[in-house]
Amino acid sequence: MSSSSAPIDLAGIFPPIATPFDERGSVRPSALERNLEFLNLYDLKGVVVLGSNGEFVLLTREEKLITIETVRDLLPPGRLLIAGTGCEATQETVELSRSAARAGADAALVITPHYYKNRMDREALIRHFTTVADDSPIPIILYNMPASTGLDLDSPTVTELARHGNIMGIKDSSGNLNKMAQILGTVKGDFQILAGSAGFLLPALSLGAVGGVVALANVAPGLCIDLYQAFLRGELDRAVDLQVRIVGLNNLVTREGGVPALKAALDLVGLVGGPPRPPLQPAGTEMRERLRRSLSELDLLGEGTN
């Protein structure tokens, strides 16, 4: 079994960055540089590449590795790089996790295999994640995204997987705070939970989550970090105020609009979003106008040009 020589502290805020494409639909490294220049101005713990917001299921293996290498070169020393390596096949996930490690990833974010979801019982999932963790040279973070996969890792499964020395935590995008509390109440050691959305960041932190991988941090990193730090300082009134303020914009770039809306929001703040990769379609006029109003209310229009 592989395991890191020292535990990795995940406490903090991670934006799951978008993957920009050029006019031919190819990955655009120069746009990654522009967006990372902006994010590097903030006290983020690191970034996630090849997550759902990075359109990882629409990228080739070569594109995935180019993206990891590009972002690694752009990150300041000390910033963590988490790379999505989950594939449908266990062996392919192992191989991509190894390649991601060579490309500079500090940890691998592994989503549940889900095409044969009616066969993905607890035994199948435990075997999958255990095999990947056994053979990965970098730590594994479980990725629970039931809105996309149709599978929801339950607390007994997560608790059992948490015993593995190379499974360090979970990014939970389910929003199920009851389950989060159950996991935190039963896991032992240094297993860490990351909230998967800014929409429930404060409630998750209050239960014991160490931070969040939140799409909103791509366009509003300052607000997400302010909320996190207000919680750490015990300034709960301020943290609650910030949580309430960000809910509307967060809903637009997650549940309502998804990746196309996030990319439109990036364009509106002066960063590079561009079109999503087909079959995803660009955000429509109505969504863009709603994004513009919400960004304006939070004083974020043009933020990325500063």
Where in the sequence numbering do the catalytic residues fall?
171
Task: Write the CB contacts of 296 (distance below 8 Å, at least 6 apart in sequence).
Answer: none
Please give the DSSP secondary-structure letter assigned to residue 169.
E
Q: Can you read off the two tokens belonging to residue 58?
A: 């629409």
89 phi/psi in degrees, rounded to 5: -90, 140
Long-range contacts of 292-295 (CB under 8 A, 24+ apart): 292/268, 294/248, 294/249, 294/252, 295/219, 295/249, 295/265, 295/268, 295/269
* C-alpha to C-alpha distance for 191 and 188, rounded to whole angstroms: 7
Residue closest to 59 by CA, chosen among 98, 19, 88? 19
Residue closest to 254 by CA, chosen among 178, 141, 171, 173? 173
β-pairing, 12-14 with 46-49? Answer: unpaired
Q: What residue type is 112 in one-letter code?
A: T
> Exposed e or buried b for every residue in 225-247, given b needs 16+ CB within 10 A?
bbbbbbbeeeeeeebeebbebbe
Task: Write the CB contacts of 76 (distance below 8 Å, at least 6 apart in sequence).
Answer: 40
